[in-house]
Amino acid sequence: MSMYFTKEHEWVKVKDGIGAVGISEHAAHELGDVTFVELPKIGAVVKQFAVLGSIESVKAASDIYAPISGKVVKINEILNSSPEIVNESAEDAGWMAWIEIADESELKNLMTSEQYGEYLKTL
């Protein structure tokens, strides 16, 4: 399974044409205690880097951008009642949506884990 990141700190894990999407541990740490996650609707068609949802914390509210284009096929409804899972497990249990990927060639617009690690050092 390959994992890619955006400059806005979203990630996508790709397996069998489906991308699981969430925010990075760095972003979750920066946000502080997450209090609300606005998830996309199942069936929504999203474009790469367009708004997918939003996240609110005690410190700030920010948009979540789709790291890849496609159709939302599943959302993590547990986040509706337990948004703090994003803080506990941002890059695993705190996933937000599964997207049926429209075009895997868009992955080249994203960073690998190594590239993202280097990018974080520049912030």
Cα-flanking dihedrals φ and ψ of residue 115, to 5°?
-65, -40
Fold of 2-104+112-117: OB fold (Dihydrolipoamide Acetyltransferase, E2P) (2.40.50)
Each residue's pLDDT tens digit, 38-54: 999 999 999 999 999 99
What amino acid is encoded at 43 in this protein?
G
Question: What pLDDT sits at residue 7?
Answer: 97
Closest by CA position to 41, among listed 73, 18, 10: 73
Extents of the domains making up the chain: 2-104+112-117
39 within 8 A of 50, measured Cβ to Cβ: no
* Regions of the chain where pLDDT drops below 50: none
Please report the pLDDT score of residue 92 as a whole number: 97
The length of the chain in residues reads 123
**CA-based nearest residue to 95, from 113, 77, 115, 70:** 77
Residue 1's pLDDT is what?
A: 78
Residue 22: per-residue pLDDT = 98
